[in-house]
Amino acid sequence: MGTNSLIAVLGFAIVAAILMGQITDRTIESYDNTYGYVKYTTAKEIAHSAIQIMLLKIDTLSQVTSAAFPVVGLLSGGSYRVDGSILAGDTLQLTARGKFEDSSYTVTARLVRGGSMVPDGIRRLNLGFHVTPLNFSSGSNDSIDGRDHDMVGNYLPGSTENVSAITVMKTSDSSSINAGNKGGVITNDKGIVGTPKIKVDSTLPDPMTFGMAYKSIANYIYTNNTAGTVNNPKPFYIPDAQFGDSTHPIVMFCEGNGTSYFSLSSTTSGWGVLAVHGKLKFTGNGTWHGLVIVFGNSTLEFDAGNGNGNLIGGVLYGGLPGSVFSSGNAFIKHSSRAIEMAMSVSKPTLYTIIDWYE
């Protein structure tokens, strides 16, 4: 091979080596850029997830204090830390830091708690009817008692939390109750008891405006899609069991239709919120401590007359005009303590994010 040819070959070799080196450098650079982006996005996802993890944690707390922070953990091959500070009122600021290898990402979220999803007007309620006109009938053995009781139904003579036995929307509904009441004055803890016995309040909360929200946080959901008839509705019997207790209240949501109803019977015992989208009957000796909310965009029936049922706390009933309330042996007793217990179950889920910084 001639000298010129050898020089040419060596030249090509040198150029090829340079090109290969450039390609390798670019490949490494491209890999570094790609993997660097993966590390960055992973750290970002960890930080976002850490906010959700923190929200799940505070969902279980009746009150958020500084003791709840920081929260740390491992996630997706990386780690996170969430710090929090309690600002004025019910405002909370969370700072989440996600880390993956040598990449990190920080998210700051500001949240505000809106309070209970139940309007405050229910705090001083025994049996409230957001129904007008109302079809009302009570039996001679009823006890609809607005005096304050403890959470198991014992009368508290010294309490200042006594309320009206019944609250209605219009004066004409008071007349319907007086005409339909067979219990008369108090006799052996029977009858309609309260001062006044019947109160008219046109601002009584409409359960249709908030009742469905309980479905999203319910511990128990029961559905009755049985196709009965309006005059012969089909029952769904809520299991004979204890649901929750005084320190661990729950939410039970019952989804019905116009031709079915739910029955709280026998030894069923519940603590918390019973929200019924449809018709409800007490057919035994069941007891509910807390709030009972019966609502629907139809003509409803709330029958507490087929057993010795106990509703201790507060009841709000809403339906289309002509909805029916009837009872025969039921005990409906106001309990400010049971209402507070029930309202506490809805508070943790009501944090709303008002600012988000990344």
Output the pLDDT for position 232: 78
Output the pLDDT for position 6: 47
Whether 106 and 207 share a structural domain: no
Q: Is 5 inside a domain boundary? A: no
Whether 68 and 174 share a structural domain: no
Q: Which of 335, 338, 297, 303 has its CA nearest to residue 318?
A: 297
Rounded to the nearest angstrom, the gap between the alpha carbon of residue 265 and the centroid of all alpha carbons in its chain is 24
Q: Is 294 in a helix, a strand, or coil?
A: strand
Output the pLDDT for position 311: 92
Of 86, 113, 140, the domain-final residue: 113
Q: Is 98 inside a domain boundary? A: yes
Whether 149 and 97 share a structural domain: no
Q: Is 82 inside a domain boundary? A: yes
Decide: 287 and 268 in contact? Cβ < 8 Å.
Answer: yes
Output the pLDDT for position 274: 94
Of 113, 128, 162, the domain-final residue: 113
Distances (CA, A) of 62 to 261, 268, 289, 342: 33, 26, 19, 12
Angle formed at CA 222 by CA 59 and CA 350, multiple of 5 degrees: 20
Instruction: Report the run of H or E that residue 54 belongs to, with start and end.
Output: helix 3-58
User: Per-residue pLDDT for the chain (358 aa), expressed as one digit of tens each?
Assistant: 555 554 454 455 555 555 555 556 566 566 556 768 888 999 999 999 998 888 877 766 656 778 889 999 999 899 999 998 888 656 889 999 999 999 999 999 988 766 556 777 788 999 999 998 888 877 667 788 999 999 999 999 999 999 999 999 998 888 777 765 654 444 445 678 888 889 999 999 899 888 888 887 889 999 988 777 767 778 888 888 999 999 999 999 999 877 788 888 778 899 999 999 988 888 778 899 999 999 987 778 888 766 678 899 999 999 888 888 887 778 899 999 999 999 887 554 456 677 888 8
Output the pLDDT for position 188: 45
Q: Is 352 inside a domain boundary? A: no
Whether 174 and 321 share a structural domain: yes
Whether 88 and 149 share a structural domain: no
Of 94, 113, 132, the domain-final residue: 113
Distance linking the first and last C-alpha atoms of the chain: 66
Domain containing residue 69: 34-113
Output the pLDDT for position 22: 58
Output the pLDDT for position 187: 43
Whether 232 and 130 share a structural domain: yes
Output the pLDDT for position 115: 57
User: Rounded to whole angstroms, how far apart are CA atoms 273 and 53?
Assistant: 26
pTM above 0.85, yes or no: no
Output the pLDDT for position 14: 54
Helices then strands, counting H and E runs in the chain, come out as 3, 23
Output the pLDDT for position 100: 93
| Strand order through the sheet with 91-100 | 71-75, 78-86, 91-100, 103-113, 351-357
Output the pLDDT for position 119: 75
Q: Give how many domains the chain has, as a whole number.
A: 2
Beta strands in 213-307 (DSSP E): 220-223, 234-237, 242-243, 250-255, 260-264, 269-277, 279-282, 287-295, 301-304
Whether 175 and 85 share a structural domain: no
